[in-house]
Structures are given as C-alpha cells and as structure tokens.
Amino acid sequence: MSPLFILLGIGLLIPVLFCIAYNEPQIYYKSFIYPSIISFSLGIIFSFLKSKDINLSLTNSMVIVGLSWIVFSLIGGIPFIIGLEKSFIDAFFEAVSGFTTTGITVFESLSSIPHSIIIWRALIQWFGGLGIITFFLFITFRSEGQLWQLFTAESHKIDTSRPVPNIFRSIKILWLIYALFTVLQFILLIAFRVTAFDALLHSFTTLSTGGFSNYDASVGYYASLGHPYYIVIEYIFIIFMLLGGINFLIHFKVLRGNVKELFTNFEMKYFWSIIGVVIFLILTGKIFNSTLNLSNIEMVFRKTLFQVVSVMTTTGYGTESLTSSFFPALSRLLFLFLMLMGGCVGSTAGGIKVIRIAILNKLFKREIKRFYLPKRAIMPLKVENKLIDRDEIYKISGLFFFWLVIILIGGVITALFSNLNAFQSISGMFSAMGNIGPFYFTVEEMASLSPIIKLTYIFGMLAGRLEILPIFILFTKKAWK
C-alpha cells in the first residue's frame, strides 16, 4: 500500500493548479495540501513496515484492495471537509461515490463550488474508472513477485481474456485506450463550444461512467442554457458513455481492425439487444400515452436513448430527471432492471454485468431442456465455444444472490430510517450497489438522510464496485490470520 499512498499524495496536488489558475482563497490550497501531506506520510511509514518477502495470495490481495479503497476514500474526502465544511459522513460518502464511479451526490448548488473541489470530484472518478490498483500498476510498471494478484482482486471477478498474455502489458494497453478516449471526448466537446474546464471535467467523468457534473441539471444544463450545439453535445455524451460501458478488450480488437466484434461478440449481442428492447418499450409506452408524435420524435428519442444508455452503462448523467413525468412508471421499472444489470465485464461500468445475466439466462434455458431431453443427455454450458466451468457458474449464482440480498437489506434500512416510500427506498440501494447514481427521490432528500443510511450506501457502493468479495473478506477472521 506504500506506493499507492505516495501516488495519492501526488494526485491531491493536481487541484492546487486550479486553485492558482482561478485565484481561489487560501483555504482551498490547504484543502489539498494537508491531505497530500497525510498521504505522503502514510506512504513513507508503510515503506518502512513492509516485508522484504512478498507472498501475495488472492485472499490477502483482496484484503489489501478493500483496505486501499476505504483509506483512499477517507483521505480523498478531506478536501470536502476543509474546503466545503462538510461533515465527515458526507465527505466520506462523496469520496466513496467518486472513487467507485457511482455518482450519487449529497452536494447541492454544484455551480457555486470552487473549481479545484469540482475537478477533484472528477479526478477521483477518472482514477477509479479502471481501478486505483491498476492505475498504480500502470504508472509504476511493477511486475515483480505476485502483484498481478492485486489486479485480479480488484478487477471483475469472472474469467475473461486479456488483450495480450502478459497481464502488465494488458493493463498498459487498457489505460492507454482509456486515456485516448478521454482526450478524444475533450477535443470534441471543445470543438462544439464547451468551455475547456467543462470539457475536461466531463471527459473525466464520462469514460469512467461516473457521472459527476458541475451542474445540478447535469448534461441537461446545455439545453436549458440554450447552447447552440446542445443536441450534438448530448449525442457526444451518448457515444462516450457507450464506450465506457463496453468491454475494453472489444475496444482493443476494434482498434486493431476487427470491427465486427462490436456486434458478433456474445456479450455485445445481449448489450445491444437490451438497449434496443428497453428503448422500444419506453417509446411504445409513449405512443400509447399520446406523448410521442412527428413533431417531437427526435427529442423524445434522444432523451430516451440518452437516459437508457446512461443507466445501462451506470454513468448516471441526465437530460431529464428520473422523477419527472417524462419517465412514467414503465420507464422507472425498466431503469431498475438496467441498474441491476449494468454494463459489460471489463468496462468501467458497474452492476452485475451483462455477461453474467446472459450466462444465467443460458443456465435457465438448459434447465428447461432437462424436462424433455433424456436424463443422460450432456448439456455443457458454453459461451463462444468456451466451456463455462461449474465453479464459475456457482460463483455467478452466489454473487447474483448476495447482490439481491444486499439491495434488499439496504432498502429495508432506508425505509426504517427515512420517510421515503418503498419504491424510493429500494431505488437508493439499487443505485449504490449498481454504482449508477440516479435514484427516485431528490438530491436534497439524499443529503438529509440519516447517517445510518449513508453508511449503508457507502458499504453498498464499495461492495458493488469491488463485486462484494473483497469487502466481505475484510470482515472474515480467517483471511486476516
């Protein structure tokens, strides 16, 4: 953990450049310099404590990963305490939401927050997009010992391929693609007259599928402002949200000329199909409700497409509030399903992941076949001609079950300690576990929730981002022994 905290100390100094550029008061300099000193100090202290012999198993790698994300969030929340005078719980909540790229916020009047604080919120989402451990491995190029176990512990725990056999070269490739797309979005937004600061901030929070914005109206701000290119801007966001929600291995293949992988890959077929079906159902509902006609067809389609992609990729941006009349009951039910599922494995998106839903679907179909096929029939479960191991099926089933259990517990706690109704209560935990951001009540209500509920959501955000196992292992005595 020692070099991780040294990197965090460096990262905390980046917003100081914005303090200088925007001539901000001295308090905001202190907001970043003090936690930077704390982080550097921890890094130095830990460097003297570490053992010479590194023997990382997957179990203690998960302990390291879980601890790193928690302590990173604690230190990363200090600027909010010093600069904005937020409570410890609110600052910790916002930092966890940032690093896990959830995007739930307890901050109001975002446009009045200083540039340095706002850019820090965006930076922590960008760092958390592909994972803080993988960022450390990318920056340091450390491949000795068994450090690859850290990547396995932090990344999505499902068997997937890599761009190249060497895992450290794979990490390098993934981060270079991630940075390339970030720069490309920045250039496009600048080209369509978005300010440099807004373009930089939103580029950090789109590819990471985090969704933090510097406007309370999110991306809908540009339409409300009457920006001449707000329609094009919204489509740019749609494209880059999709890029963030797609497996980065697919991006690697496409960049090497294999474009058909975007449509022929097993998971991608489900990904596009689900987006298409949900958009069709929402638009059909609007036809029946007579809210869709030839005069507004482009606007309705664009807003529907934007929100479906935003929720599916767990980015959480909005051009319309999920609680507005534009999204009636049918839309809200479908959005809950998308929150649960999330994006593709190997992406920056949260949720259970499309491929797991697809595998569970194939598993259900196989059980149906058992009723009419001979008892001795062999029915292996395959994905793209690759046999899915029985242990992998057990792991997916167990993960899916506990995902639902945690959502249920979080919904019950929310209902017990707040005045929210049942639908609102469950939506908050759906959002936290899926690392999605939007929920079916207001930011003001979220900010005023009991600390017990906020701590529950913090647990849910961390469990959802690290896919439950590392967080639960932290509370397992045998793992520590």
pLDDT tens for each residue of 267-282: 999 999 999 999 999 9
Average pLDDT, the chain: 88
pLDDT of residue 159: 47
The 3-state DSSP class for residue 126 equals helix
What domain range is 409 assigned to? 389-480
CA distance 99 to 127: 7
379 or 205, which is more confident: 205
Residue 163 lies in a domain: no
Q: Mean per-residue pLDDT for 324-332? A: 90
Q: Mean per-residue pLDDT for 322-338? A: 90
Calculate what percentage of the chain has a pLDDT beyond 90: 60
426 or 164, which is more confident: 426
Residue appearing with tokens 């920045």: 186
Q: Mean per-residue pLDDT for 320-331? A: 89
Q: Which of 231-245, 302-316, 337-351 has the lowest mean pLDDT?
A: 337-351
Q: Which of 67-81, 110-124, 372-386 has the lowest mean pLDDT?
A: 372-386
Residue 417 lies in a domain: yes
Q: Are 77 and 442 in contact (CB under 8 A)?
A: no
CA distances from residue 276 to 217, 279, 304, 311 in whole angstroms, order as listed = 26, 5, 11, 13
Q: Mean per-residue pLDDT for 307-326? A: 92
pLDDT of residue 147: 59
pLDDT of residue 137: 65
CA distances from residue 110 to 15, 83, 156, 316, 443 in whole angstroms, order as listed = 17, 14, 32, 16, 11
Q: Mean per-residue pLDDT for 299-324? A: 93
Residue 447 lies in a domain: yes
pLDDT of residue 289: 84
> Rounded to the nearest 5°, which phi and psi values hold at 71?
-70, -40
Q: Mean per-residue pLDDT for 117-122? A: 96
Q: Render pLDDT for 373-397 as a digit per residue (tens, 0 to 9).
A: 887 777 788 887 788 888 888 888 8
pLDDT of residue 53: 62
Residue 381 lies in a domain: no
pLDDT of residue 60: 77
pLDDT of residue 50: 64
Q: Are 189 and 198 in contact (CB under 8 A)?
A: yes
Q: Render pLDDT for 30-66 as a digit per residue (tens, 0 to 9).
A: 999 999 999 999 989 988 876 666 666 777 778 888 8
Residue 456 lies in a domain: yes
Calculate what percentage of the chain has a pLDDT beyond 70: 91
Residue 442 lies in a domain: yes
Residue 159 lies in a domain: no
Q: Render pLDDT for 220-235 as a digit per residue (tens, 0 to 9).
A: 999 999 999 999 999 9
Q: Mean per-residue pLDDT for 247-256? A: 91
pLDDT band at 142 (very low <50, low <70, confident <90, very high): low
pLDDT of residue 114: 95
Residue 245 lies in a domain: no
pLDDT of residue 136: 64
CA distance 381 to 134: 31
Give the N- to C-terminal CA distance of the chain in Å, as an integer.
19
Q: Render pLDDT for 145-193 as a digit per residue (tens, 0 to 9).
A: 455 556 665 555 444 555 555 667 777 888 899 999 999 999 999 999 9
pLDDT band at 472 (very low <50, low <70, confident <90, very high): confident
Vertex 181: Cα angle to 224 and 9 (nearest 5): 95
Report which of 279, 204, 272, 280 is spatially closest to residue 244, judged by C-alpha positions.
204
pLDDT of residue 157: 47
Residue appearing with tokens 């609680």: 323
What is the domain count for the chain?
1
238 or 166, which is more confident: 238
pLDDT of residue 186: 97
Q: Which of 48-57, 78-87, 125-134, 408-417 has the lowest mean pLDDT?
A: 48-57
